[in-house]
Amino acid sequence: MKANQHILIIGGGTAGIMTAAQLIKKNKNLSISILEPSEKHYYQPAFTLVGAGTYDYKKTIRLTKDLIPKGVKWIKDFATEILAEEKQVKTATSGNISYDLLVVATGLVNDLDGIGIEGLREGLEKGVVCSNYVDPNKTWELLQKFKGGNAVFTQPTTPIKCGGAPQKAAYMAADYFRKKGISNKTNLVFATPGSVIFGVKIIADSLMKVIGDYNIHFKTFYAPIKIDSDNKIVYFKEVSTGENKCVVNENNILNEKHTGNEIMEIPFDFLHLAPPQAPPKFIRESNLVNAAGWLDVHINSLQHNKFTSIFGLGDVAGLPTAKTGAAIRKQVPVVVDNILKYLANQTVDNQGYLGYSSCPLVVGYGKMILAEFNYKNEFTPDPKLKQMLVFDSNKPHWRLWFLKKYMLPHLYWNKMMKGENV
- Which sequence spans correspond to the domains of the chain? 6-108+279-351, 120-276
Q: What CA–CA distance (Å, rounded) separates 85 from 307? A: 8
Q: What CA–CA distance (Å, rounded) separates 21 from 415? A: 10
Q: What CA–CA distance (Å, rounded) separates 56 from 172? A: 16
Amino acid, res. 88: Q
Catalytic option among 46, 68, 162, 416: 162
> Is 246 a catalytic site residue?
no
Fold of 6-108+279-351: FAD/NAD(P)-binding domain (3.50.50)
pLDDT grade, residue 175 (50/70/90)? very high
pLDDT score for 243? 60
For 80, which DSSP code?
Answer: E
CA distances from 289 to 12, 35, 36, 76, 86 (A): 20, 20, 21, 25, 17
Provide the mean pLDDT of the chain. 95
- pTM for the full model? 0.95
One fold for 6-108+279-351 and 120-276: yes
Phi, psi angle pair for 369, to nearest 5°: -110, 140
> Is 130 a catalytic site residue?
no
Residue closest to 187 by CA, chosen among 269, 272, 264: 269
On the question of pLDDT at 119 being above 60, the answer is: yes
CA distances from 280 to 43, 48, 92, 115 (A): 20, 23, 14, 13
Catalytic option among 101, 129, 203, 359: 359
Q: Domain 120-276 - what CATH class?
A: alpha beta
Average pLDDT for 109-130:
93
Which residues, other chains included, contact 348 with Cβ-Cβ below 8 Å and sequence gap of 6+?
A: 301, 303, 308, 338, 341, 342
Q: What CA–CA distance (Å, rounded) separates 184 from 259? A: 28
Q: What CA–CA distance (Å, rounded) separates 269 from 152? A: 8
Residue closest to 113 by CA, chosen among 236, 276, 233, 253: 276
pLDDT score for 392? 79
More confident residue, 240 or 275: 275
pLDDT score for 280? 97
Angle between helices 14-26 and 325-343 (to 10 degrees): 40
Q: Minimum mean pLDDT among 46-50, 60-64, 236-240, 250-254: which range?
A: 250-254
Which residues, other chains included, contact 315 with Cβ-Cβ below 8 Å and sequence gap of 6+?
A: 15, 107, 108, 161, 323
Q: What CA–CA distance (Å, rounded) separates 321 from 205? A: 20
